[in-house]
Structure 1
C-alpha cells in the first residue's frame, strides 16, 4: 500500500476540495429547509448564477479577489476556508486509513463532520436531515468494510460502540436537562459506530476527548467573553472533533495512557 499512499492522499485532497465546495451549499441551505441541489448557486448580492469557471474551489476565490464577478459584492473568506479545510481533512484521513475498504466510510464521516460542526456553530442545531441518514449510510459502508477485510468483529464493535455512546449521551440528556441536546444524542450513536469499528481505543479516546475539548472551550468562553456557567456552547463540534482526533491519534494516546498506568510496556 505504501507506494500508492502519496497519489491516494493527493487524490483525496482534490476530492475534499470539491466536496468542500458542496458542503458550503449544505451548511447554508439545510438549516433553512432548502434543497441542496436546486436552484444552482447564485450571488446573494446580484442574484446572478455562479459560472462554472468561478466555482473552482479556493482558486476562483483567489482569482476574483474575494468578490463577485458581476457586482463586486464581497464573498466571505469562509467559503475557501471550508473548501481547503475539507481537502486537508480528507488528506489526513486517507493518510491514516490508507487504501482500504473502510476508506469511503471514514471520508463520509469527515464530510459530515465539517457540515455538522459549522451548522451547529451557526444555528445551535444538528439537523436530522444529515444525522439520521448517516445511520444507514454508516451501516452499509462499515458492513462493506468488514466484508472486504474479512473482519466481522469490527462490525460487532461498531454496533456496541454506537449503542454505548448513544446510551451515555441519552442518560446525560435525561439526568441534566438542557445540558445536552437531543441532536447530540442522535449524533453520538453515529460517532460510536465509526469509533467502535476502528478500535476500542478509538471509542474510548473519542468519547472522552469530546468532553475535554468542550470543557476547554467552555473555560475559554468564560475567560474571553465574560460569560457565566450557564452560557451555552454548541457541543456537536467537540464531539466531531473528538471523533476525528481519535481516528488520527487514538492508538498513541491509548498507549501513552496505559504506560502512565503501568499497564503497557514502555518499549
Structure 2
C-alpha cells in the first residue's frame, strides 16, 4: 500500500479513536454513545466543534476544558494517537487486502476494551459483542471475496476453542479470570484465527507474559502484592495487537522448525543422471 494511502487510514484512526473515547466513557455506565452530544464531565458544557478535533484540540486547549478549566484526562489523546498509529501500521502490514477491514475493526474494539479494563476492571458485553459481530462480518466478506472459506472455518474453530479453554479456567479458579476475559478469548479467536491458530496462541502467551512482568515490577516497587488485581484484558488485547503486527516471523519460524516437510518444495530440483 502506498504510504500516502496508509497515512489517510491513519487519519481515519484519529476519528475512530475519538469515537472510542466516547464508548469507553459511556458504555460501562449503560449510556448511549449517540445521544446526548459530548460534554465536559466537570461542568456539563457541550463541547464545541472547534474543541472536538482529535488530538489537536487537547493540545490547543492546554489539556483543560475551555469553560471550567478542569483537566482533560490524558486517556483521550492517548487513545486517539494510538488508534491512528495502529491503523497506519496495519495499513502497511496488510496493504490493499481483504483482511485489512477486519483487522482495523478488531483492533479498534480491542483498544476500547483495553481502556475500559484499565480504568474500571471491566470488559463490557456491549463492546465485546459488537466488535465480534463486525469482525465476523468483515471476515465473511473477505472469505466471499477471496474464496478462502477454510480460513473462516479456522477462525470459528479458534473462537470456540479460545472460549472453551478460558471458560474451563474460569470454572476451575474464578479468581484467576473474570467472565469478561472468557468472552474476550472468543473474540481473540475470531480475529486472530483468520491469520492462523498460532497467532492466537502467541497473543495469549505474550499477554500473559506481559502481565506477569508488570505484576513483578509493581511488587518489586512495593506498589502491589500477590493479591493485587491487574487488568488481564488489557494485556490480552496488547498481546493480540502485537501478534497481528509483529507475530508473523515468530509463527513462520515455529511452523518451519515443527513441520517435518520442507517449507517450500517449489525450490527443489530433481537431477537426472544418465545411466
TM-score, length of structure 2 as denominator length: 0.89
Secondary structure of the corresponding residue to residue 230 of structure 1: coil
Note the alpha carbon deviations across 1:110-143, whole angstroms, 9 max, x for none: 1111110010111111001111233322221111
* Aligned pair partner of 2:25 in 25, 28, 31: 28
Q: Alpha carbons of 1:225 and 1:27: their partners in 2 closer, same or farther (altered >3 Å)? A: farther
Distance 2:86 2:219 in 1: 29
* Aligned pair partner of 2:190 in 187, 190, 193: 193
Provide the residue aligned with 2:87 in structure 1: 90
Q: Alpha-carbon deviation of 1:255?
A: 3.5
Q: Alpha-carbon deviation of 1:103?
A: 1.4
Give yes or no for the alignment of 1:69 onto 2:66: yes
Provide the residue aligned with 1:114 in structure 2: 111
- The answer to whether the 8 A contact 2:215-2:224 is kept is no
Distance 2:122 2:143 in 1: 32
- The answer to whether the 8 A contact 1:13-1:87 is kept is yes
* Aligned pair partner of 1:228 in 216, 225, 229: 225
Q: Alpha-carbon deviation of 1:84?
A: 0.8
Distance 1:133 1:70 in 2: 35
- The answer to whether the 8 A contact 1:258-1:264 is kept is no
Distance 1:266 1:100 in 2: 24
Q: Alpha-carbon deviation of 1:174?
A: 1.1
* Aligned pair partner of 1:212 in 193, 209, 213: 209
Distance 1:225 1:121 in 2: 20
Gaps of 5+ in 2: 265-275
- The answer to whether the 8 A contact 2:170-2:176 is kept is yes
Note the alpha carbon deviations across 1:164-184, whole angstroms, 9 max, x for none: 111111111111121011000
* Aligned pair partner of 1:240 in 232, 237, 242: 237
Secondary structure of the corresponding residue to residue 194 of structure 1: helix
Q: Alpha-carbon deviation of 1:18?
A: 0.6
Secondary structure of the corresponding residue to residue 194 of structure 2: helix
Q: Alpha carbons of 1:230 and 1:77: their partners in 2 closer, same or farther (altered >3 Å)? A: closer
Structure 1 vs Structure 2 CA RMSD = 2.2
More displaced 10-residue stretch of structure 1: 61-70 or 82-91: 61-70
How do 1:1-267 and structure 2 match up within 5 A?
4-257=1-254
Gaps of 5+ in 1: none
Distance 1:172 1:250 in 2: 25
Secondary structure of the corresponding residue to residue 220 of structure 1: helix
More displaced 10-residue stretch of structure 1: 241-250 or 67-76: 67-76
Larger radius of gyration: 2
TM-score, length of structure 1 as denominator length: 0.91
Distance 1:73 1:204 in 2: 43
Q: Alpha-carbon deviation of 1:264?
A: 9.1
Distance 2:65 2:232 in 1: 34
